[in-house]
Structures are given as structure tokens and as C-alpha cells.
Structure 1
Amino acid sequence: MGWDALSLVDAVDERPPIERRAVVRDGFYETQARAVIERVPETAGIAQSWALSPYRGCAHACRGCGARSGHRRLGLDAGRDFDTRVVVKANAVSRLRAELARWGGEPLAVGVSGDCYQPAERVYTLMPGLIAALGEAAVPFTVYTRSPLVLRDAALLAEAGAQVAVSIAFVDERIRRAVEPGAGGAQSRLELVSALVEAGVDCRVLMAPVLPLLSDAADQLAATVRRIAGAGARGVEPVVLRLPPGTREWYLGWLAEAHPHLVARYEELYDRAGLPSPGYEQRITGQIAQLCQVYGLPCGAPPPPVRRPRFPQLSLV
């Protein structure tokens, strides 16, 4: 077959780009990544500017997940495909080691494009190798997760000096079932926080996303912060829901079905980039800060972990 014929075959292949590049194994799209450290979108609302994500897409199916638009670049949709077609960077450990060899030491977020302890991790077990590489390079990092599977690596995370941020935005189970259908309930995540702290892990709560007009009432915020404090978290980092392109369509589509009377208010509250009104955001984060003060919890983005020497200094004899 000549080159022209090959080009013609490729041209009529209407499969999404990811399906042409990936190997489908155990229901996952297995790929070989060219890079694993990437910029965190400005709309994310977290402290780190750079992220490492071994998985893209997430079985937790959180309607407000800000990473949904990444699936569009793969030829998939930002809605149901993001929830069910998870992409695995099978070479993540080797790529990370190569990139860390020339990394400047900036803190990294782990698990931004998809929970790094979602069900795919049970199959691929990438996190122990990633934690080891980050620990050996003495790069400060924070793991973002909703999953109890992180307890499997608690000793590794403590040894590496990692921070873990468990996402608990509200404690109302009815809201959780509607907007985080694939994730565990708030009580199980609160117990996870306690278990991580007991295991010696620096564990905070990412109180995100706070949902306007659904989980932002004063009594809801107070109940959430009170239970976070009771779990022994080291601090709270509040983030109001972001609606960047991809996430916006999926979330507002659900809102139109479940709470149609709120759609117009959301349209007024969010700008084109998907950021909430500064006045609204400041009011909500201010309320949470006051509650944290009552319960003795640090509030806001934490200081990055202290970067340890890559090679321990030898003591003089």
C-alpha cells in the first residue's frame, strides 16, 4: 500500500484521536505520555501552578469537576466520556523521573486531571512509584483525592513529606448523591482524614467545590467546618465552584433539570472564564474563615512543605 492510500485510510478513520493512539485494556485507554508535568489552569483555585496527573478523566463523576475540558482535546466529550473513558498514562513513573531530573523544585499538585486514587489506580498501581520519585527528588507535593485507596500509601506519603488534601465540600448526603455520584460519602471521607492524620500524614481538607445556592447556606457551611475540625484535619482550603468551558455545559445542563429556577442566577454569577463573582466568592470564603477561627483551624492555601535536601548532608566525624 502506497503513502497516498495510507493517508486516505487515516483520513476516513473517524474514531476519536485517543482511540487511534491508545491501547484499550480493562476498559481504560492506556497511553504513553510525552510529558506528565503540566500547568494548572488559572481557574482551578488551588495553590500550585504545576500538576502531575497519572489519569485523565475520573470515575467519581463529579458534575463540577474543572478538568472536564481536557477530554475534548482527545476527541471525547466533557460529560459522560469524562466519567467513563479514563485515560491512563502508563509510563507516568519513568516520564516523571526524566522530568524531575531538570525540574526547578516548584511544588506539584497530584491528581488534578482525575483523582489519582480512583479505580484505575487499583489496576495500574502508579502512585507508589510516583511518590517514590517525588520523595527522592525532594519536590514538595500535595495529593488531591476523595478516595480511601490513598490509605494504602499512607506510610510512603508520610515518609516523602507529602501533603494530602481530601475533598469535602459539604456533608449533605442528598447533594453528594446528586453531584458526586461516584465518590464516597462525607462521613467516609471524614474518617479517611482521621486515619491519614493518625498515620502521620499532613492531611488537610479541600472544601471544594462550594456550590452556590445549593451548599452555601450558613448552617451548611457551619456543619461542614465543624465536622472537618472533629476529624482532626490540619486545615481547610475553601474553593467556590468553578465553571470553565466543558464543566459549565455539563453542570448547567444538570442544574436545568434538577433546579431550573437557579440557572438564571448562575448565569449572572459566573463570568465567561467560569469564575464566580469576586464579591460572592469573598463572602463565602470569609464565612468559612470565620468558622475555621471558631474551631481553631487554619484556613486558606497552606504554605508549601519544606523542601528537604535531595541528598542528606553527611555529619562530620
Structure 2
Amino acid sequence: MWGVGWDALSLVDVADERPAIERRALARGAFYETQARTMIEKVPATAGITERWAVSPYRGCAHACRGCGARRPHRGLGLDAGRDFDTRIVVKANAAPRLRAELTRWQGEPVAIGVGGDCYQEAELTYHLMPPLIAALAEAGVPFTVYTKSPLVLRDAALLRSAGARVAVSIAFVDEQIRRAVEPGAPTAQRRLELVAALAEAGVECRVLMAPVLPLLSDAADQLAATVRRIAAAGATGVEPVVLRLPHGTRQWYLTWLEQAHPALVERYAELYDKAGMPAPGYESRITGQIAQLAQAYGMSCGPAPSPAPRPPQADQLALV
């Protein structure tokens, strides 16, 4: 006969203490496969890009960029905004059909792809979510920009060209020592510069998002000049500078690293950033002004490009053939 203690415990439900994402997703190694309720989401005001709406097939990013502004939502999944964001990637397995359903009611406003995590990170090699997303946007005639650091985007160059899409490749600096410290999982700057050239050769409109410029780490005049010079040499037509943002979630992760790697800079960062994680306006305008002068010297435009015009829906064109 069981003891009283055992019998009592058997009647008590043990609380499920797993992260929320593990209770509602299918775990496959480092990936959590989910069924998204919505695909078109509002872009955070701190993102620094022109689009107001975004589509992100993945949440979290193996590029592990310390200053990534998309970290906070991982907390709502029961994960942390630091290491978990880098290693526990949420995959929206129904991304394409969900997006198609939402596009039937969309008014054609431009969207960004890859704000919640690089859409061409390693997970895309397994899940191949991007081709049907590109097709859905192209068929609906919705203009879109793909934000990425990954050469994997070249796999879909023909699709992107046909859709009239724009690709924004992120190259914030060309110092490899800094890249290893703050973007440990990302391709090198040299590989991304080669990507810019390859996209241009493939006929895909490409701009460079010079983001994030890191205060007191990658913002010296010679560093900015070297970066803009190499971006121009790669064949980019324009550069869009964005100074590092530190919204909640990102701030804690980045400053923890900064305190360990560069403790003398912590106090200066506290002075430079407001509670929302935005850099001081005077500092930001000085840095973007320097980059604008450099871009002009190398024959590039600087700042956000005009939003691409809506295209006729491809499905309608096919129906006329």
C-alpha cells in the first residue's frame, strides 16, 4: 500500500514551468515551429527604418548581434532577450498561407522583411520560407525591402528581381575585430560587401544599411570613412546610416557586454541614451551628417530611399495572358 505522502502528491498537478513557447510550439533542436496568428506587424519606432510594417518569418537570430533591437519580444515567449534570442529561433511555419490571407485586405503599403530576425539566417536553409513569401508579396503587388546580412539571399535573386524588391544589406563597419565582438554569428563585412556587388550584378536593387553605428566604438572619423569608401567600391547606390538604438531588452544585453568589454564607456553611454533607448539628437545628427558628406564624396545618396511604388498584382497580369 502506498504511503500517505506519495498518495497525496499523486493527486497534485505539477506546475508546467517550461517557457511559454515550449508549451505551444513543436521543438526541433534549436528551432520552435509555431503557427503564427498574424504576419504583418507594426515596426517598432526605435527600429530606424522607413517602413511602418514588417513581415518576419523568424523570431530570434543566430547572427547574435549584441545591438539587435528585436530582442525584447523573446521575453513574451518565456525566453530571455540575450542568449536565448541568439540560439532559440522561433519559426513561423505557416508564414506563407497566413501572409496570403492578410494580403487580401492589405492596402499596398510597403513592408520590410526580416525585422524580428534575419530572414536569411541559417534556419532558412532548413525551412525555405522566403520563396513563397516573396511570391505572395509579388502576386499582391506589395512593394517590399528585405533586410539581411546573409549571402543566402542570392539564392532568391531571380525571384527578388522579378518582384521588383529591394535588398538592404547591413554593413555598419569594416573592422573585423569589432565584428567578432558584437556580431559573432554574422558573415564578415567583406562577405557582405561582396554580396552587395553580387546583388547589383544580378539586377537586384541594393542599398546598404549602415547600422548600427556604435558610439565610441565604430564612430571615429577614420572608421566611418573606411566603411563608406568600401561600401561605394562594392557598387552600392546609397547608404542609410542608423546610430545604435538601445530599447528595453537590447539595452540590458548590450550594456552587460559593454561593462565587461569596455567598462570605461558605460558612464558615457548612460549620458548619451534616453530612457527609450534613443541616442542624443545632437550626437546622432553629427554622425549621420559625417556619413552624408562621405557618401556625397563617393557619389552615393544618403538617407532613406523613396518607398518603391506599388506594382500591378502579378496574378492579374497572368490572367490577361
Q: Specify the TM-score bucket, using the shorter chain as the normaliser.
A: over 0.9
User: Which one of 138, 144, 151 corresponds to residue 148 of structure 1?
Assistant: 151
2:92 equivalent in structure 1: 89
Find the aligned partners of 2:309 and 2:230 in 1 and give their Cα distance.
28
Find the aligned partners of 1:51 and 1:108 in 2 and give their Cα distance.
5
Pick the structure with greater CA Rg. 2
User: Which one of 251, 269, 274 corresponds to residue 272 of structure 2?
Assistant: 269
The residue correspondences of 1:86-125 to structure 2 (distance < 5 A) are 86-125=89-128
Secondary structure at 1:143 match in 2: strand
2:21 paired with 1:18: yes
Specify the code of the residue in structure 2 equivalent to 1:288: I
User: What's the TM-score, normalizing by structure 2?
Assistant: 0.94
Structure 1 unaligned blocks of 5 or more: 1-7
Find the aligned partners of 2:268 and 2:95 in 1 and give their Cα distance.
42
Shift of 1:27: 2.5
Structure 2 unaligned blocks of 5 or more: 1-11
Find the aligned partners of 2:311 and 2:181 in 1 and give their Cα distance.
42
Find the aligned partners of 2:28 and 2:161 in 1 and give their Cα distance.
32
Specify the code of the residue in structure 1 equivalent to 2:185: G
1:170 equivalent in structure 2: 173
Change (3 A) 1:182 1:313: closer
Instruction: Give the share of equivalent positions with the same residue, in percent.
Output: 76
Find the aligned partners of 1:271 and 1:74 in 2 and give their Cα distance.
27
Find the aligned partners of 2:307 and 2:205 in 1 and give their Cα distance.
11
Secondary structure at 1:209 match in 2: strand
Find the aligned partners of 1:308 and 1:252 in 2 and give their Cα distance.
43
1:45 equivalent in structure 2: 48
Secondary structure at 2:302 match in 1: coil
2:287 paired with 1:284: yes
The residue correspondences of 1:201-220 to structure 2 (distance < 5 A) are 201-220=204-223
For residues 216-268 of structure 1, what are the alpha-carbon distances to aligned partners after superposition, in whole Å with 9 as ceiling and x for unaligned?
00000000000000000121010000000000000000000000000000000
2:321 paired with 1:309: no
Shift of 1:25: 1.5
For residues 19-77 of structure 1, what are the alpha-carbon distances to aligned partners after superposition, in whole Å with 9 as ceiling and x for unaligned?
10000114200000000110000011100000000000000000000000010010100
Find the aligned partners of 2:105 and 2:113 in 1 and give their Cα distance.
18
1:61 equivalent in structure 2: 64
Find the aligned partners of 1:273 and 1:88 in 2 and give their Cα distance.
28
Find the aligned partners of 2:319 and 2:80 in 1 and give their Cα distance.
53
User: What's the TM-score, normalizing by structure 1?
Assistant: 0.95
For residues 69-109 of structure 1, what are the alpha-carbon distances to aligned partners after superposition, in whole Å with 9 as ceiling and x for unaligned?
01001010000000000000000000000000100111000
Change (3 A) 1:314 1:58: closer
Shift of 1:305: 1.2
Shift of 1:312: 3.8
For residues 173-193 of structure 1, what are the alpha-carbon distances to aligned partners after superposition, in whole Å with 9 as ceiling and x for unaligned?
000000000001110100000
2:199 equivalent in structure 1: 196
Secondary structure at 1:237 match in 2: strand
Shift of 1:314: 9.4
Specify the code of the residue in structure 1 equivalent to 2:273: Y
